[in-house]
Amino acid sequence: MKVVFAGTPEFAAVALRALHEAGFEIPLVLTQPDRPAGRGMQLQASAVKQYALAHGMPVAQPLSLRMDAKDPERAAQARAAHEQLQSIDYDVMVVAAYGLILPRSTLDIRPCINIHGSLLPRWRGAAPIHRAIESGDRETGVTIMEMEEGLDTGPMLTMERLPIEASDTTGSLHDKLAALGGRMIVEALRKMQAGELTAVPQPDEGVTYAAKIGKEEAKLDFSLPADVLARKVRAFNPFPGANGVVDGVAVKFWSAEAVDGRGAPGAVLQADAGGIVVACGEGALRLNELQKPGGKRLKAAEFLKGFSLAGLTFN
């Protein structure tokens, strides 16, 4: 079976590796253009591109796949990509966190199936892992689905569930779901080859949308309940990193838990080796791992050695 693969970040690279190691022929890999990254803002290839080039796979990086794009360069690149896909002998396109919209013209060339990190129809959209943790979901999973023009609305081919542990962050859950998705897509394609896959429409009930995470969401509002803030800390780890301001200094929070406590929201109730306890709208938040600007992530005991919180509040 010949598979065209479209994806960009590490979540997708795990799936690409699984397909490659399972012996599927991959005549083309689509990924987003290189982006500036790091302190030096040097152009950096996506995780998918890095894996593809390391294993001799052809790579294309169009700015868009929409041939009707208003920008001439985007439209030209889309036409070139469309012609390339039409000229290639392949059976199916597998898409995972690609980041570009696949228009009808692309979907019509060959079957397109998607690896999505949620239990559809819950958490359609860009940030299903973040939103599942932030909302306090007890489980999530991976859905393999047929693609159509709607946002993650296509019929489901297979689904597996995964519990969300109390200690899970977006980073740890991402890795679990990526591994699950890699295994599932290999199994799904083998079943497709054998004619054993059946598409099931998504239910109309239970639809939610996982909006893209904005950096402005990372600032914690201590008037909210502590359990809500604890989930946000986990959901925004590693990106964009939950934070608060102490005496004008933005401090990032990497690990926190809800505890008993009462006081004016943002007031420091306790600060010792056991953590920094900050009053919230309901209960209190114990901050266990923090980071000052330009510094390293530190346990509370180490953080307090260079930061006096006496009389200060978080806001």
Mean predicted confidence (pLDDT) in 301-305: 89
62: cis peptide before it, omega within 30°? no
User: Which pair of structure tokens corresponds to residue 269?
Assistant: 């109730």
pLDDT at 120: 98
**What stretch(es) of the chain map to CATH 3.40.50.170?**
2-210
Using alpha carbons only, give the angle 88, 197, 163 rounded to the nearest 5 degrees: 110
Answer yes or no: is pLDDT of 239 > 90: yes
The pLDDT > 90 percentage for the chain reads 90
CATH number of 2-210: 3.40.50.170
pLDDT at 311: 72
**What stretch(es) of the chain map to CATH 3.10.25.10?**
216-313
Condensed to tens digits (0 to 9), the pLDDT of residues 36-89 reads 877 777 899 999 999 999 999 999 999 999 999 999 999 999 999 999 999 999
Length of the chain counted residue by residue? 315
User: Is residue 19 a contact partner of residue 3, using CB atoms and an 8 Å limit?
Assistant: yes
pLDDT at 128: 98
pLDDT at 306: 73
Residues forming beta bridges with residue 257, ordered by sequence position: 286
Answer yes or no: is pLDDT of 257 > 80: yes
Task: Give the closest residue to 257 by CA, choosing from 239, 238, 240, 280.
Answer: 280
Residues forming beta bridges with residue 298, ordered by sequence position: 290
Alpha helices by DSSP H, the chain: 10-21, 47-54, 72-87, 104-107, 128-134, 170-193, 226-235, 300-305
pLDDT at 164: 98
3-state class of 5 per DSSP? strand
Task: Give the closest residue to 19 by CA, choosing from 187, 198, 191.
Answer: 187
Q: Is the pTM of this model over 0.85?
A: yes
d(CA 295, CA 271): 19
Annotated binding site: which residue ranges? 118-121
Mean predicted confidence (pLDDT) in 218-243: 97
d(CA 154, CA 157): 9
pLDDT at 42: 86
Answer yes or no: is pLDDT of 309 > 80: no
Annotated binding site for (6S)-5,6,7,8-tetrahydrofolate: which residue ranges? 118-121
Mean predicted confidence (pLDDT) in 234-263: 94
Superfamily of domain 216-313: Formyl transferase, C-terminal domain (3.10.25.10)
Condensed to tens digits (0 to 9), the pLDDT of residues 120-155 reads 999 999 999 999 999 999 999 999 999 999 999 999
